[in-house]
Amino acid sequence: MDKAVEPNSFKTGPDEEGMFGIFGGRFVAETLMPLILELQQAYDDAKNDPAFKAELRELSTNYAGRPSKLYYAEGLTRHVRQLAKDKGLDGGAKIYFKREDLNHTGSHKINNCLGQILLAKRMGKTRIIAETGAGQHGVASATVSARFGFPCVVYMGATDVERQAPNVFRMKLLGAEVKPVASGHGTLKDAMNEALRDWVSNVDDTYYLIGTAAGPHPYPELVRDFQSVIGEEARAQILEREGRLPDTIIAAVGGGSNAIGLFHPFLDDKSVEIIGVEAGGRGLDGEEHCASMSAGSPGVLHGNRTYLLQNKDGQILDGHSVSAGLDYPGVGPEHSWLRDTGRVSYVPILDDEALDAFQLTTRVEGIIPALESAHAIAQAVKIAPEMAQDKIMIVNLSGRGDKDVHTVGKLMGMEI
């Protein structure tokens, strides 16, 4: 594919039609069109309403615990310097973690859920639906629904219900109804189909709280905006800490909400290298991965045009990742555009590499990262030894890994 024209700024999208170049858009059934137009109107109003911003800031600070810390991962830095030394190099970039795992509910998902629940309230909606993969977004949705007194239905693939059992229980405790979805492989894609079917059937009272920066316009934009607090904080924190911008920032990309949140405020900082890490699963040769931008092609699914895993007939493939949160055959449309413009590099990390990074981080940092975040850490560990010691890297630690201990334990052959 031809490289898209490089714009003056990477931060102006989407356009009025919801497009980032050829990506994005509003590919939805007519039943939903009035709803997403209404949402867009509500969001445009909210953005310019100081009261909305003040309420969100108050909740972010005192309920979610923002700002999240920027932590110098000394143990991991020492580790990559040793790796460099073993190769006869004296490199090893300095690694920082943006600690989204410390947020209330244990991941970055709360940022978006707080923003959207306030929108739902503003729009007079009385029922919340959400889709979830790893359960992080489901938990965050159930949490804000409990906080604001909304009934909440979470659609979750049957496979994910099984592999993320702790989160399923958390959602139920929070009063949400978890509906397992058995179609397809029973993962995030199937959960999203079912959530859309619910929405189309309950248009009057229901707010669809999409968890990732994908779906029909304006979701990719508003989810990005609510998540951009990650990058805004990280940028200010590193400037204060190091007196300069980082050389490299890295985040894992499933649908891509934590990544776009970290990346967006840095997009026009030309000196900052930006890397998105996709789920390489068991390798890109077969179909057992979720690296839509490394090995897929543009197509239309779930309301937007974006890179997808699909066959030559345009049927969507199921993909595979050890991490339920990355197990999605598409990606947010802004990432597709950032890929084609060349501003962001997207690379795959295999299941095994992510599992190694999961254990490594646990051992040398005393932090159990989510398997999603472990993909980003694995990429950092891969490239940091080749970088000079005065280079600075920020890795988005998007969530904590408590939810994954069963999965990892099983893979390590441990009884839990």
Residues labelled as active-site residues? 109, 131, 398
3-state secondary structure of 137: helix
- Residue 306, interface with another protein (CB under 8 A)? no
3-state secondary structure of 70: strand
CA distances from residue 336 to 188, 291, 320 in whole angstroms, order as listed: 19, 12, 20
Q: What is the DSSP letter of 104?
A: G
Q: Which of residues 188-207 bind another protein (CB under 8 A)?
A: 189, 193, 196-197, 200-204
Residues 35-74 as x/- pattern, contact with another protein by CB under 8 A? x---------------------------------------
Whichever of 216 and 385 has its CB closer to another protein, that residue is 216
* Ranges of H-type helices in 123-246: 136-148, 158-163, 165-173, 188-201, 219-227, 229-242
Considering only 31, 41, 61, 82, the residue that binds another protein (CB under 8 A) is 31
- 183 — phi, psi (to 5°)? -65, 160
Residues 165-184 as x/- pattern, contact with another protein by CB under 8 A? ------------------xx
Give the Cα separation of 94 and 73 in Å (integer).
Answer: 8
CA distances from residue 212 to 140, 255, 291, 371 in whole angstroms, order as listed: 12, 5, 16, 17
CB of 250 to another protein, least distance (A): 30
Whichever of 224 and 305 has its CB closer to another protein, that residue is 305
**Of 79-87, 96-104, 294-302, 361-369, which part binds another protein (CB under 8 A)?**
294-302
- One-character DSSP codes across 277-300: EEEEET-SSSS----HHHH-EEEE
Whichever of 296 and 369 has its CB closer to another protein, that residue is 296
Q: What is the DSSP letter of 403?
A: G
Residue the block writes with tokens 């938990």 = 139
Considering only 159, 310, 323, 398, the residue that binds another protein (CB under 8 A) is 310
Residues 242-281 as x/- pattern, contact with another protein by CB under 8 A? ----------------------------------------
- Residue 313, interface with another protein (CB under 8 A)? yes
CB 214 within 8 A of CB 227: no
Give the Cα separation of 309 and 386 in Å (integer).
Answer: 32
Whichever of 108 and 217 has its CB closer to another protein, that residue is 217
For residues 177-214, one letter each, b for 16 or more C-beta atoms within 10 angstroms of the residue's C-beta and e for the rest, the string is ebbbbeebbbbbbbbbbbbbebbbeeeeebbbbbbbbb
Q: What is the DSSP letter of 342?
A: T
**Of 63-71, 111-119, 313-321, 332-340, which part binds another protein (CB under 8 A)?**
313-321
Q: Contacts with another protein: how many residues (CB under 8 A)?
A: 37
Considering only 2, 6, 30, 285, the residue that binds another protein (CB under 8 A) is 30
**Of 235-243, 268-276, 308-316, 383-391, which part binds another protein (CB under 8 A)?**
308-316
Which residues have CB under 8 Å from 395's CB, separation 6+? Answer: 73, 95, 96, 97, 98, 249, 250, 251, 373, 376, 377, 380
Whichever of 243 and 312 has its CB closer to another protein, that residue is 312
**Of 28-36, 224-232, 276-284, 403-411, which part binds another protein (CB under 8 A)?**
28-36
Binding site for another protein (CB under 8 A): 17, 25-35, 183-184, 189, 193, 196-197, 200-204, 297, 299-303, 305, 308, 310, 312-316
